[in-house]
Amino acid sequence: QPHLQESGPGLVKPSETLSLTCAVSGGSLTSSNYYWGWIRQPPGKGLEWIGSIFYSGITYYNPSLESRVTISVDMSKNQFSLRVSSVTAADTAVYFCARRAAADSFDVWGQGTMVTVSS
Amino acid sequence: DIQLTQSPSSVSASVGDRVTITCRASQDIITWLAWYQQKPGTAPRLLIYGASSPQSGVPSRFSGSGSGTDFTLTISSLQPEDFATYYCQQGNRMPWTFGQGTKVEIK
């Protein structure tokens, strides 16, 4: 199975843009027709799916975030990225990248990265 | 959005106990349901997909059942490493959604 690793700033100011990258190792983004996605978890709370992308660039977003979210893929670096614009304190969360697998479950996850929105 | 309601929200149990967690969907999701285990400070781990198919490497004490709107995750004999929070997730219709979680605590 591939290994996923998130990276990006741990602190973002309100109204600015949150940017994270998920590096995929031990496997190719283009293999086996998998979708790749982002999921977040506010401190002490449950999980929220943000969106998913196919290596061809096809994307699906959660309507609750769609106006502020962009997910993109860089096949040359075998990684995909998340951008969330106009962040507020409500965007403070651990952000996970994950692989979407059978029956639309998520079978491989990154370790997660904490992002705090604060001035 | 499809709402998933888990019950109970928390359960206290002892090693060796049989534990059952339920997940109810707000509409028919056929068998598009997954279960995850999450320990503090770690990512969720996929246990069951397609309502009843175990993910590779998952101990046989974990099983899932159900279809339509009602689903269960059963741990047949609770082990010390099973104390964690469990989430269900539906993959029938986007946006994919998760239940609120069930915390399994030591009695």
Q: What is the pLDDT along chain B (107 residues), one digit of tens a residue?
A: 999 999 999 999 999 999 999 999 999 999 999 999 999 999 999 999 999 999 999 999 999 999 999 999 999 999 999 999 999 999 999 999 999 999 999 88
**Nearest Cα to B92, choosing from B21, B3, B6, B22?**
B3
Burial A10-46 (b: 16+ CB within 10 A, else e): eebeeeeebbbbbbbeebebeeeebbbbbbbbeeeeb
Q: ∠B78-B84-B89 over CA atoms, to 5°?
A: 105
Residues in chain A closer than 8 A to B101 (CB atoms): 46
**Residues B103, B21: Cα–Cα separation, whole Å:** 10
pLDDT, tens digit, 9 for 90 and up, residues B25-40: 999 999 999 999 999 9
In one-letter notation, the amino acid at residue A38 is W
**Residues A4, A48: Cα–Cα separation, whole Å:** 18
pLDDT, tens digit, 9 for 90 and up, residues B66-75: 999 999 999 9
Q: How far is A77 from chain B (nearest CA, A)?
A: 24
Residues in chain B closer than 8 A to A107 (CB atoms): 46, 49, 55
Residue A41 has pLDDT above 90, yes or no: yes
**Residues B52, B86: Cα–Cα separation, whole Å:** 15
Question: Taking a C-beta distance cutoff of 8 angstroms, is the pair B64, B51 a contact?
Answer: yes
Tokens of A112: 């997660």
Contact A103 B43 (CB under 8 A): no
Contact A106 B101 (CB under 8 A): no
Residue A2 is predicted with a pLDDT of: 92
**Residues B41, B39: Cα–Cα separation, whole Å:** 6
Residue A29 is predicted with a pLDDT of: 86
Residue A1 is predicted with a pLDDT of: 87
Beta strands in chain B (DSSP E): 4-7, 10-13, 19-25, 33-38, 45-49, 53-54, 62-67, 70-75, 85-90, 97-98, 102-106
pLDDT, tens digit, 9 for 90 and up, residues A52-106: 999 888 999 999 999 999 999 999 999 999 999 999 999 999 999 999 987 889 9
**Residues B6, B16: Cα–Cα separation, whole Å:** 22
